[in-house]
């Protein structure tokens, strides 16, 4: 098993719209495409607000395939188009890290 750490820059002026979109649509569609959301947090990095979440995957190939299907999902594309038109960009910079288990002992 591997984990994936996603860090999204979010904006104070439309943070509620971001969370609503993630909660009502993003998480639901992710689960439909095989995503396992382990946990999520809000944090600050300097002056920047961030949404951070952790995903669990059986392997990297499964992860890549699920992301391809999610990004190509027509419902998700339409939701992003509508929410961006209404609220502007909800996400700035995105950091993506694959966490591979390390067993030092």
Tens of pLDDT along 14-71? Answer: 999 999 999 999 999 999 999 999 999 999 999 999 999 999 999 999 999 999 999 9
Residue 103 confidence (pLDDT): 86
Residue 104 pLDDT grade (very low, low, confident, very high; cuts 50, 70, 90):
confident
Q: Which residues lie closer than 8 Å to 6 by C-beta, 6 or more apart?
A: 52, 53, 54, 55, 94, 95, 96
**pLDDT of 9 higher than 90:** yes
Residue 105 confidence (pLDDT): 76
The CA-atom distances, in angstroms, between 90 and each of 31, 34, 61, 97, 101 are 21, 24, 28, 21, 32
| CA gap 93, 82 in Å, rounded | 20
22-35 pLDDT per residue, tens: 999 999 999 999 99
The CA-atom distances, in angstroms, between 47 and each of 5, 71, 91, 97 are 21, 29, 15, 22
| CA gap 70, 76 in Å, rounded | 7
């Amino acid at each position: 098993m591997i984990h994936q750490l996603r860090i999204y820059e979010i904006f104070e002026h439309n943070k509620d719209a971001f969370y609503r979109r993630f909660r009502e649509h993003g998480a639901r569609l992710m689960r439909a495409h095989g995503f396992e959301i382990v946990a999520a947090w809000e944090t600050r990095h300097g002056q920047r607000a961030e949404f951070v979440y952790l995903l669990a995957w059986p392997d990297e190939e499964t992860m890549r395939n699920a992301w391809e299907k999610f990004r190509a999902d027509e419902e998700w594309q339409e939701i992003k188009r509508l929410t961006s038109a209404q609220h502007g960009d909800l996400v700035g910079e995105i950091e993506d890290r694959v966490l591979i288990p390390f067993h030092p002992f």
